[in-house]
Amino acid sequence: MYLPRPRTDMSRLYLRFYLTVLASLLAFALILLVLWHLDGGGPVSHRVSTLMALPLVAVIVSITAYPITRRLTRRLERLQSAVELLGAGNLASRVTVEGNDEVARLAISFNRAAGRIEELIGAHKTLLANASHELRTPLTRIRLSVDLIANVAEQECKRGLEQDIAELDHLIDEILLASRLDAIVEADIDEEVDLLGLAAEECARYDDVQVEGVPIVVRGDARLLRRLLRNLLDNAMRYGAPPVAVNISENDAVAEIVVHDHGRIIPPHLSGRLFEPFYRRPDTVHHSGAGLGLALVSQIAKRHRGTAHYREAPDSGNCFCVTLPTSPHQ
Calpha distance 241→219 (Å, rounded)? 32
Q: What's the pLDDT band for 3 if we cut at 50, 70, 90?
A: very low
If phi > 0 it is left, if psi is from -120 to 50 it is alpha, else beta; for residue 71 that is alpha
Calpha distance 213→256 (Å, rounded)? 10
Model pLDDT, residue 245: 94
Q: What's the pLDDT band for 47 if we cut at 50, 70, 90?
A: low
- What is the average pLDDT score of the chain? 76
Q: Which of 8-12, 127-131, 306-310 has the lowest mean pLDDT?
A: 8-12
Model pLDDT, residue 82: 83
Model pLDDT, residue 120: 78
DSSP code for 93: -
Model pLDDT, residue 54: 59
Q: What is the pLDDT of residues 51-67, one digit of tens each?
A: 565 566 666 666 666 66
Show the beta-strand stretches assigned E in the chain: 191-194, 209-213, 217-220, 244-251, 254-261, 307-312, 318-325
Q: What's the pLDDT band for 37 if we cut at 50, 70, 90?
A: low
Q: What is the pLDDT of residues 141-184, one digit of tens each?
A: 776 766 666 555 566 666 766 776 777 766 777 777 766 676 55
Calpha distance 114→92 (Å, rounded)? 8
Between 182 and 252, where is the model more confident? 252
Calpha distance 54→57 (Å, rounded)? 5
Asked if 260 and 244 touch (Cβ cutoff 8 Å), the reply is: yes
Model pLDDT, residue 272: 82
Model pLDDT, residue 115: 85
Model pLDDT, residue 250: 93
Instruction: Classify residue 70 as exposed, middle or buried by CB count within 10 Å of its CB (0-12, 13-18, 19+).
Output: exposed
Asked if 10 and 103 touch (Cβ cutoff 8 Å), the reply is: no
Between 286 and 295, where is the model more confident? 295
Q: What is the pLDDT of residues 192-244, one digit of tens each?
A: 999 999 999 999 988 889 999 999 999 988 889 999 999 999 999 988 888 99
| Per-position DSSP letters for 127-159, written without gaps between them | HHHHHHHHHHHHHHHHHHHHHTTTTS-HHHHHH
Model pLDDT, residue 183: 59
